Structure 1
């Protein structure tokens, strides 16, 4: 969402519009559905333990460490099904236990890789908590 800072709107209003625009997008809906399906297909993280609690995150970390040995290697494999599903799982744990919400840029910009990635954030209505 391109916003002209000189359009007379304050930063709060701009941030709120961006939050709404990133909340329910076809890209996000498709990504979440794909990860849910992969999670179910992969035996709930290779043998169970996927109960969406904080305790289960150690299992996810162990699983990832079996496949990558450095942060650089993780970034090289960030689009693999395993990495994407693990990212989704960690985000889902946060979403379910902390009340965050999934967001994804509906129209990612060129040259800004972070705009291509989904994330979980505190809902805008609770941003001052």
Structure 2
């Protein structure tokens, strides 16, 4: 369904709101089922524990994609996103397709290559394409090489602590460099 970007509020999509309520309500059950005695307290240690669980259960990125609607993956997606929301002041969103502006089915029945039909997180004022997709983070944990074929060995804590880190910009500001790039989209 086409939805003009100007009138669409990506933080208020009804399926997103229902999904968030379901995840929050079921969090303790998910945490117990997923990790048993592991405390999922939004700490780096809990991210390490989640990463271990993912690596024990899955070996290929396609497995995560195929099982993206299972309770474990759904809970892991929420948990990673919630860590980012709590640490960085981000919000949950369900974004329309960047190219077409259409809003896809939320966690559609079938995998559609190139279609982002899962929730994301980002700064409240983030523009199109400036979002973090926790499902992709889970997949990246199992990726052996990047888009250029270079080997990678990502850690969940490193991704959460390092990606979209504003501290580098703040350090440049302190060094006297002009960081006035508002309005530049690249």
Same fold, TM exceeding 0.5?
yes
**Which residue number in structure 2 is paired with residue 95 of structure 1?**
85
The residue number in structure 1 matching 2:29 is 41
Gaps of at least 5 residues in structure 1 are 4-13
* Secondary structure at 1:49 match in 2: coil
Aligned residues: 114
Moved more, 97-106 or 119-128: 119-128
Q: Is the 8 A contact 1:53 1:97 kept in 2?
A: no
Q: Is the 8 A contact 1:38 1:81 kept in 2?
A: no
Q: 1:125 to 1:75 in 2, by over 3 A?
A: closer
Deviates more, 1:89-98 or 1:101-110: 101-110
- Please list the CA deviations of residues 12-65 of structure 1 after superposition, one character each: whole Å capped at 9, or x if unmatched: xx5xx36x6111222111111222233211317422321112332111111112
* CA gap 1:44/1:91 in 2 versus in 1, 3 angstroms: farther
- The answer to whether the 8 Å contact 2:91/2:123 transfers is yes
What is the alpha-carbon distance in structure 2 between the residues aligned to residue 67 and residue 83 of structure 1?
11
Q: Going by fraction, where is helix more abundant, 1 or 2?
A: 1
User: Aligned partners of 1:93 and 1:38: how far apart in 2?
Assistant: 16
> 3-state SS of the aligned residue for 1:22?
coil
Q: Which residue is equivalent to 1:56?
A: 46
Structure 2 unaligned segments of length 5 or more: list them.
97-101, 106-111, 131-181
What TM-score, normalized by structure 2, do the two folds share? 0.52
- 1:2 alignment partner in structure 2: 3
SS in 2 for 1:102: strand
Q: Compared with structure 1, are the counterparts of its residues 44 and 100 closer, same or farther at alpha carbon in structure 2 (3 Å cutoff)? A: farther
Give the distance between the partners of 1:38 and 1:69, measured in 2 at CA: 26
Q: Alignment RMSD, CA only?
A: 2.7
Give 4+ residue runs of structure 1 displaced > 4 Å after superposition. 125-128
1:113 aligns with 2:115: yes
1:22 aligns with 2:10: yes
Higher relative contact order (CA 8 A, sep 6+): 1
